Amino acid sequence: MPGQGARVLYSASLVARLARQDFLATVEKPVQKEELAKAIGKMLDRR
Q: Is residue 22 part of a domain?
A: yes
User: What pTM did the predictor assign?
Assistant: 0.52
Q: Is residue 30 part of a domain?
A: yes
- Overall domain count for the chain: 1
Given a contact cutoff of 8 angstroms between Cβ atoms, the answer to whether 31 and 38 are in contact is no
Q: Is residue 1 part of a domain?
A: no
* pLDDT score of 2: 55
For the stretch 9-47, pLDDT in tens is 788 888 888 888 877 777 777 889 998 999 899 888 877
- pLDDT at residue 3 tops 70: no
Dist CA 11 CA 43 (whole Å): 20
Domain region containing 20 = 6-45
* pLDDT score of 33: 93
CA angle 22, 4, 47 (to 5 degrees): 20
